[in-house]
Structure 1
Amino acid sequence: MVKSALGRLAIASSLALAPTLAFAHPGGPEAHGFVHGFAHPISGLDHILAMVLVGIFAWQLGGRALWLVPATFVTVMALGGGLGMAGINLPFVEIGIALSVVVLGAIVAFGVKAPVAAAMGIVGLFAVFHGYAHGAEMPESAGGLAYAAGFMLATAALHVAGIGVGFLIGKISETHGQAVVRTTGALAAVAGVGLLTGLV
């Protein structure tokens, strides 16, 4: 069941990225854009924490959420990226990103068992802000589609990492596994408060 869900997520990500990756030839704006797009999500603590937390949240919910929650984040983030690339104004982006770490960290810490649709709505809301930040910071010399493919792939990888972290913690101990996950979520939420207040 789990392997099937992860397989579907991998296939969906590959299909979404395949048309764009075909344009990424060495040295061109597409290749330049892909590299910059891939680097953007992994260059900031706020993005890394939020995206890994999405994966852990999906793992906590299990079942269809394992692929639906991360897939929702990646899809909506791409739409937010389009807004940023188009120069459409979106207020409170940095606050939204910092709040995503606080809220997702708290959700993981408290082991919230939200319905899948609600979980998709929560991560989708925050994905808009993350995507907008990626799109708004796209270099002028980058190819837009390749840049989007880069940040989508990096985000999917971080989600898979989060799911992997959840599984590893669960394997460590049935007794202490949830305590470790919840401590991880709590620490991430504290880091989010630091990001929100400018202390981190």
Structure 2
Amino acid sequence: MLTMKTIRTSLLSRTLLATAAVTLPVLAQAHPGHGLHGLSDGLAHPILGLDHLCGLLALGAVSARFRGAAAGVFAGAIAAALAGGILLGNVIGGFSGLEYALSLSLALVAVPLLWQRAGNLAVATAIGVVVAGVHAMAHGIELQGNAALLGFVLSSTFLLACGHALGRLLVAQPRVQAVLGAGVACFGLWSLLGA
């Protein structure tokens, strides 16, 4: 029997398969050295760079813990950190430990996800600013041109919104949040070994 649930599941499966088919061939071009100057480069880079993808989705999931003015403070701080990081990266470039900072920031963003409580706004915001700023700085170095930077901002906003939606679904599932947080932390520590 055909039900709405079956139709939604089938549509989601086909959408995910089509997305994978389109994006997998370009995964190798998610990081520097590939002439990242256009809008499509900026759009693709946060999605195809696994470290950026994990960081932005995790930040979005953390944002789902806050409501009202607290949510506005968190979102505003993240937006300011993204803008500041892009400018710093574009103007002054990187520093010798940037790859280490990127890896450590992924482990750091897992802290609010591992908490079983609603979370402390000041701590979560401070962590979010560091994570967003460091990742945006890396993008500011790698992406050149206004179109690429616009693509980065649009793609980052989309990923934060997706992470927020995921966080809203999991707000009543602290164990699942903890597992996801542990996974992000492990990925950050694992990438630290290769930094």
TM-score (ref. length: structure 2): 0.72
Give me the whole-angstrom Cα distance separating, in 2, the residues matched to 1:89 and 1:45: 20
- 1:157 aligns to what? 158
SS, match of residue 38 in structure 2: helix
**1:184 is aligned to 2:189:** no
Superposed displacement of residue 64, structure 1 = 3.0
What does the per-residue CA deviation read over 1:41-87, in whole Å, with 9 as the maximum and x for residues that have no partner?
11111111111111111112344343432332232122111122224
- 2:132 aligns to what? 127
Give me the whole-angstrom Cα distance separating, in 1, the residues matched to 2:127 and 2:110: 13
Structure 1 runs not aligned, ≥5 long = 1-31
- 2:115 aligns to what? 110
Structure 2 runs not aligned, ≥5 long = 1-36
Q: Mapping of 1:27-176 within 5 angstroms? A: 33-111=38-116, 113-139=118-144, 144-170=145-171, 174=172
Corresponding residue pairs, total: 159
Post-superposition, which runs of at least 4 consecutive aligned residues in structure 1 deviate over 6 A? none
Distance 1:116 1:34, change over 3 A: same
- Name which of structure 1's ranges 62-71 and 180-189 shifts more when overlaid on structure 2: 62-71
What does the per-residue CA deviation read over 1:80-119, in whole Å, with 9 as the maximum and x for residues that have no partner?
1112222444342111111121111132022364442332
Amino acid paired to 2:161 = V
Task: Tell me if structure 2 keeps the 8 A contact 1:57–1:108.
Answer: yes
Distance 1:126 1:86, change over 3 A: same
Amino acid paired to 1:133 = A
- 1:22 aligns to what? none
TM-score (ref. length: structure 1): 0.70
Task: Tell me if structure 1 keeps the 8 A contact 2:108–2:127.
Answer: no
Percentage of identical aligned residues? 29
